[in-house]
Amino acid sequence: MSLSNKAPAPLDMDNIPRHIAIVMDGNGRWARKRGLPRKAGHSAGSETFHRAAELLAELGVEHMTVYAWSTENEEKRPPEETREIMGLLERYLKKSVRELTENNIQLDFWGNTAALSPKLQALIAQTDEISKRCTGMQVHICMNYGGRDEILRAARALAQDCAAGLIRPEQIDEKALESRMYCRRTPPPDLLIRPGGEQRLSNFLLWECAYSEFYFTDVLWPDFDEEQIRLAIAAFQRRTRRFGGLTE
């Protein structure tokens, strides 16, 4: 995966993050720098995603969550770009259906997938069914997703359960809310990686990233090769995680 002649960053294989989240940022700028249409950047970014998933699985990462398309993207991006992204996702899922079992990588989707096209919904359902037979790394694709929207949906579900008498208000705690979120069966991210030069969450995993380590870089997502992934993990391994406590 690496295009560099440098030796890859050494890693402590006993301290590999269990869960890595990635904001796949910079596809459009990558294409613009090369005089290419934006869809070429998204296509290159999808290939980077595929290679990154394989590498993280090899390293022993258990969960990978990627920000593919946000609720804000759905509202603010040009319709033509939205169609291109959805078409790219359709092609990727068709490819994944063939390769998923071989790679033993599980795929699932977080977000309002009911708002996607019937064809995409059918492909997602097919991918979910195949993933049930896989036991390897879990890849969570955030599609038409927003962190605030995820929390709002969970709060509504909790309110409905209260109204139905399934839970009493005094029983509501963090676990009760989280059990109604997309992340309910997933450990929180240990490391969040954001390529592309921006240094913000952009409404991504707001609940889940309360104690995640953040890694920001100017490298654009389509250029995020093996060396860049190893550098991000190496930076994580140099951190001391206290989770609100004190260092001994």
CA proximity to 47, closest of 106, 88, 11, 80: 88
Backbone dihedral angles phi then psi of residue 159, each to the nearest 5 degrees:
-65, -40
Q: Which residues are catalytic?
A: 25, 73
- CB atoms under 10 Å from CB of 48, counted, come to 23
- 56 with 17: CB under 8 angstroms? no
CA proximity to 237, closest of 10, 5, 8, 6: 10
Q: What is the side-by-side strand order in the sheet with 19-23?
A: 106-110, 138-145, 63-70, 19-23, 191-194, 213-216
What gap in Å lies between CA 150 and CA 59, rounded to an integer?
29
